[in-house]
Amino acid sequence: MSQQTIYYFDNNATTRVAPEVVDAMIPFLREQWGNPSSTYDFGRQVGGHVDKARARVAALINAEPREIVFTSCGTESNNSAIHSALVTQPEKRHVLTTAVEHSANLKFCEYLTKRGYTVTFLPVTPDGELDAELLEKSIRPDTAIVSVMWANNETGVLFPVRELAAICRRKGVLFHTDAVQTPGKLKIDVRELDVDFLSLSAHKLHAPKGIGLLYVKRGVKYQPYIIGGGQERGRRGGTENVANIVAFGQAAELAVARLPDENTRVRALRDRLEEGILDGIPGSARNGAKEPRLPNTSNIAFEGVEAEGILMLLDQAGICASSGSACTTGSLDPSHVLTAMACNATRARSSIRLSLGIYNTEAEVDYVLQHLPGIIAKLRASAPVG
């Protein structure tokens, strides 16, 4: 295996598992491997740790522990919220969402349209912002749920979730937000936001993949998506993924503790990186509004070059970044987020995302700033686009 140093700038894709989190979960793989639903003490003790983790993740979002349903990932959480709203209100067959959601929401909504439901995918402005008035006007008498992400994973642009939730409350419509990109970056307070459902995924906050949660506000009717045993108080069948749940709890505490760092040091690093690129590379431009935006995300278009080439040369230099494009059968589709922002396909195909995290350093930012201008110049010289 290559020993090359990795410069990791893809924290919106996934994050390094924090060493503290690994330490917290290992006992539940080695010694305390009992089933938390068992009646004997060996199992019950494990159940106690699941309860403790539930309280910790609840504290991250200012929820009550009983409002937390552990799931396998953010995708399951999003699917579950929308599914529940439709099943508990069978007379309502319309879903309102946006064109820039993660595929964890979009693809489920597209599937629903094939099952006879109607979905409205709201447009965004060229800066990736959502018009709250348009959302309000688009709510119909048969709207079962409004599902709108808080922070866009590609651009970092934030939607005014609190305002949108208030509109839905006034109109008597359920509101779900995909908050997967926000922990450790924004303060999350479900009481203040007043949402009915909220999705998180642990691998975005330095815990392992394969664990997520859905917040379900107390009093909101909920129909499970995965039906089986009575786990999660009957709201999600399947034996609990104990080690990952414990890891999620530990990571939730770290996320709260590191929030100030992410908003000062990481934000400053991101700004330095972004300004360094925009000032130093002609024909580069930011995609999406500068603010309000996640403190760690930068999405930049480079005129005359394909993202695929940039990412390849960055990779050769040990730099991990990504484009918003989904790579299917070797061809890069332009990002649905950037195209919804009225970027033309060429610009969308020329854009990359750099997303920072708590482990990034100034020296790493310097390294990218040192390499990227040469990479862009080389690509422009070798294969000019249109």
Q: Which of 73, 109, 168, 327 is catalytic?
A: 327
The phi and psi torsions of 8 (rounded to 5 degrees) equal -95, 110
The pattern of x and - marking residues 139 through 168 that bind ligand PLP according to CB under 6 A reads: ----------x---x---------------
Which C-beta is closer to ligand PLP: that of 32 or that of 75? 75
Least distance in Å: CB of 322 to ligand PLP?
A: 10
Two tokens, residue 8: 């990791």
Nearer to ligand PLP, 324 or 334 (CB): 324
Q: How many residues bind ligand PLP (CB under 6 A)?
A: 13
Closest by CA to 337, choosing from 123, 73, 96, is 123
The secondary structure element, H or E, covering residue 7 is strand 7-8
**Where do we find the tokens 């079962």?**
144
Task: State the Cα–Cα distance between residues 250 and 232, nearest whole angstrom.
Answer: 19
- For residue 180, state whether it binds ligand PLP (rule: CB under 6 A): yes
Q: Measured from the CB of residue 74, what is the shortest distance to ligand PLP in angstroms?
A: 3
Report the distance separating Cα 179 and Cα 121, nearest Å. 18
Q: Which is nearer to ligand PLP, 107 or 267 (CB)?
A: 107
Q: Which of residues 98-117 bind ligand PLP (CB under 6 A)?
A: 102, 104
Contacts of residue 308, Cβ cutoff 8 Å, sequence gap at least 6: 323, 325, 332, 349
d(CA 74, CA 179): 9
Shortest separation between residue 172's beta carbon and ligand PLP, angstroms: 26
> 201, 335, 339, 350: which one contacts ligand PLP (CB under 6 A)?
201
3-state secondary structure of 203: helix
Question: Is residue 204 within 8 Å of 180, Cβ to Cβ?
Answer: yes
* Closest approach of ligand PLP to the CB of residue 112, in Å: 17
Quick check: 152 and 142 in contact, CB under 8 A? no
CB 213 within 8 A of CB 183: no
Residue 214 vs 379, nearer CB to ligand PLP: 214
Of 292, 328, 291, nearest to 308 (Cα)? 328
**Whose Cβ is closer to ligand PLP: residue 198's or residue 314's?**
198
Part in contact with ligand PLP (CB under 6 A); list of ranges 120-128, 173-181, 236-244, 315-323: 173-181
168 is catalytic: no
What's the rounded Cα separation, in Å, for the pair 378 and 274?
20
We find the least distance from the C-beta atom of residue 140 to ligand PLP, in angstroms, to be 25
Least spacing, CB of residue 24 vs ligand PLP, in Å: 20
Asked if residues 35 and 45 have their Cβ atoms less than 8 Å apart, the reply is no
> What string marks each residue from 297 to 336 as x (binds ligand PLP by CB under 6 A) or -?
----------------------------------------
Per CB under 6 A, the list member of 10, 67, 178, 232 interacting with ligand PLP is: 178
Q: Hey, what are 257's tokens?
A: 């503790």
Binding mask 208-247 for ligand PLP (x = CB under 6 A): ----x-----------------------------------
Cβ contacts of 310 within 8 Å, gap of 6 or more = 302, 321, 352, 372, 375, 376, 379
For ligand PLP, the closer CB: 69 or 375: 69
Q: Closest residue (Cβ) to ligand PLP?
A: 74
Q: Write down the least CB distance from residue 336 to ligand PLP, Å.
A: 13
* Alpha carbons 86 and 90: distance in angstroms, whole number: 6
Q: Per-residue x/- marks for ligand PLP, 52-91, CB under 6 A?
A: ---------------------xxx----------------
Give one word for 256, left, alpha or beta, with left for phi > 0 and alpha for psi -120 to 50.
Answer: alpha
Comparison of 104 and 305: residue with beta carbon closer to ligand PLP: 104
Q: In which element (H, E) is residue 119 found?
A: strand 118-122
Residues involved in catalysis: 327
Residues in touch with ligand PLP (CB under 6 A): 73-75, 102, 104, 149, 153, 178, 180-181, 201, 203, 212
